[in-house]
Amino acid sequence: MEKVNPAFSFDTIKRGFRSGLNITWKLAKILVPVYFIVTILKYTPIINWISAAFAPLMRVFGLPGEAAIVLVMGNVVNLYAAIGAMASLDLSIKEISILAIMLSFCHSLIVETTLAKKIGLSALKVISVRVGLAVVSGIAFNLFL
Report the largest interatomic distance among the alpha carbons of the chain, rounded to a whole angstrom.
73
User: Between vectors from CA 101 to CA 26 and to CA 41, what angle results, nearest 5°?
Assistant: 60
- Could you say which residues in the range 6-65 bind other proteins, by CB under 8 A? 6-9, 12-13, 15-17, 19-21, 23-24, 27-28, 31-32, 35-36, 39-40, 43
Provide the minimum distance between the beta carbon of 97 and other proteins in the complex, in angstroms, as a whole number: 5
Shorter beta-carbon distance to other proteins: residue 20 or 48 = 20
Residue from the set 68, 71, 130, 142 that interacts with other proteins by CB under 8 A? 130
* Smallest distance from other proteins to CB 54, Å: 21
Distance separating alpha carbons of residues 13 and 1, to the nearest angstrom: 28
For other proteins, which is the closer residue by CB, 72 or 112? Answer: 112
Residue 119 binding other proteins, by CB under 8 A: yes
> Where do runs of H (alpha helix) occur along 43-122?
46-59, 67-76, 79-88, 93-105, 109-119
Q: How far apart (Å, rounded) are the C-alpha atoms in residues 97 and 145? A: 9
Dump the DSSP string for 5-21. Answer: --S--HHHHHHHHHHHH
Q: Which helix (H) or strand (E) holds 1?
A: none
Q: Which residues bind other proteins (CB under 8 A)?
A: 6-9, 12-13, 15-17, 19-21, 23-24, 27-28, 31-32, 35-36, 39-40, 43, 79-80, 83-84, 86-88, 93, 96-97, 100-101, 104-105, 112, 115-116, 118-121, 126, 129-130, 133, 137
